[in-house]
Amino acid sequence: MMAEMMERTADVVIVGAGPAGCTLAALLAMRGIVCVVFDDDKRPELLVGESLIPGVVPVFQKLGIEDRVAAMSVRKPGASFFVTDGGPRIHFSFKNVEGHLPPYSYNTPRPELDNVLRVRAEELGARFIHARAELVAGMEAGEPVVRLGEASLEKAGLSVDARPLLVDASGRARAFARAMELPAVRGDRNDVAYFAHFEDFDHDEVEPGQVIISVLRAGWSWRIPLPGRLSVGIVVSKEHAKTLGATAEERLEAAIRQEPILATKGQRARRVSPVMTYTNYQLLSERGHGPGWVLLGDAYGFVDPMLSPGLFMSLEGARQLDACVFSQGVDVLRDPARLKKAMDRYCRRIVQWHEAWTELVRYFYDGRIFRIHLAGKNLAMKPSPFNIASVMERHSTFHIASMASGGYTRSRYSRGLMRLLAKHLVWGVAEAENFAVRDVRRTELEKAA
């Protein structure tokens, strides 16, 4: 099949070979739709998105690569959320989602995972071009458009008048959006993250493979067990970052020393990778498609990494684009009215996903999730007819875990339940601000109070 596909002109050109682009390329190849992927082969040593949620596992299974992912990863049984200075701790087990999602996921080195997805796309018949795509942006009939430049058309084996569907999977580079100057909506946070890999960083408070998200005295942190090492990252406001040092290395090391919840576990730790910096944590393009082009994955928008939705959104975006558009066959690309309708459906779903994840993440940032958890524990301990209180507590835990796993994230019922719990079932519990992620150290707030 691969030889036959390479003889035909490409129906789709994907710009970028990250998880979103490679997943879409693999899905298209499985449908027999000819695609070409441009990739400049530039990869940082480390990438965010190492901790995966159960919602990605069905995609791995569909692509036939779960065994490869498992072989290079640490099996992830759940996630824990801590509040510093003796605050509450929540332990979510993915066993809670069994029945509608796999009761596990993986912590995986991202460059290796990206390579597995790429190799699988190639195995299925996708063709990769090792070059940066040349883009030409403009306006046609009042609509922003982007086309491949002549040099890129030639490399792809396309004629100068070819009009394949262009998919922007360039990640945070947002190649199409920048070329066409598409506006975007930014979230209400403007944090910066620093992270690196460590050896001998103790991770003995939870079940093996469990990730820990901690609310710190300033900002928050992640700890992700990987094969032979621990990924440790801190997320703080840009203003606070300046107080930690002049370089990324100084800032990460200072934060680990200053935060008791990290310092005690990192006393013997040795950094074994460079320190990476990430900014711009919440963004969504106001427009997701146009004549002959569509945005995918981080190129469309990215969600705050608090609950690890990034890689899920890349894979889910590819799955949604495939389901909304390419499930209709390649002929949909030749019918502008049908294609627009399908693209509109795809964009509505992606916007819904972003809104749902953003809403859920906010419960963790503002401390409401800890308040709901404590109220649930108190409720479960109270006697009630037919043990209703305990049943309610288990029911709410199931839905919270399912939303954070990528299963019920968009569920109207689950989201409504969270609002109900946060508003009406938190009596006798400290205010949410006591557990919230703060921009400055708590001691400084107390002194100023």
pLDDT tens digits, 223-235 = 999 999 999 999 9
122 DSSP β-pair partners: none
Q: Residue 39: helix, strand or coil by DSSP?
A: strand
Q: CATH class for domain 2-72+108-185+282-358? A: alpha beta
Residue 191 has pLDDT above 70, yes or no: yes
Residue 4 has pLDDT above 80, yes or no: no
pLDDT at position 376 is: 81
From 125-139, 189-203, 419-433, the region with the lowest mean pLDDT:
419-433
Residue 379 has pLDDT above 80, yes or no: no
Which residue intervals of the chain bear CATH 3.30.9.100? 191-279
pLDDT band at 444 (very low <50, low <70, confident <90, very high): very low
From 81-90, 302-311, 360-369, 385-394, the region with the lowest mean pLDDT:
385-394
Q: Residue 120: helix, strand or coil by DSSP?
A: helix
Closest CA relative to residue 41, chosen from 154, 114, 131: 131
pLDDT tens by residue, 76-116 = 999 999 999 889 999 999 999 988 899 999 999 999 999 99
What is the rounded average pLDDT of the residues 417-423?
Answer: 93
Share of the chain above pLDDT 70, in %: 93
Residue 311 has pLDDT above 70, yes or no: yes
Share of the chain above pLDDT 90, in %: 79
pLDDT at position 442 is: 44
pLDDT band at 383 (very low <50, low <70, confident <90, very high): low
Q: CATH class for domain 191-279? A: alpha beta
pLDDT at position 3 is: 39
Distance CA 413, CA 448 (A): 41
Closest CA relative to residue 419, chosen from 368, 348, 364: 368
Per-chain mean pLDDT for the chain: 91
Q: What are phi and psi of 112, to 5 degrees?
A: -65, -40
Residue type, 115: N
What is the rounded average pLDDT of the residues 138-145?
Answer: 93
What is the rounded average pLDDT of the residues 212-240?
Answer: 96
pLDDT at position 85 is: 86
Residue 272 has pLDDT above 60, yes or no: yes
Residue 162 has pLDDT above 60, yes or no: yes
pTM for the predicted model, two decimal places: 0.93
pLDDT tens by residue, 318-362 = 999 999 999 999 999 999 999 999 999 999 999 999 999 999 999
Residue 69 has pLDDT above 60, yes or no: yes
Are 15 and 175 in contact by the 8 Å Cβ rule? The answer is: yes
Tokens matching residue 340:
């627009």
pLDDT at position 441 is: 46
pLDDT band at 384 (very low <50, low <70, confident <90, very high): low
- Comparison of pLDDT for 41 and 36, the residue scoring more: 36
C-alpha torsion sign, points 47, 51, 55, 57: positive
Which residue intervals of the chain bear CATH 3.50.50.60? 2-72+108-185+282-358
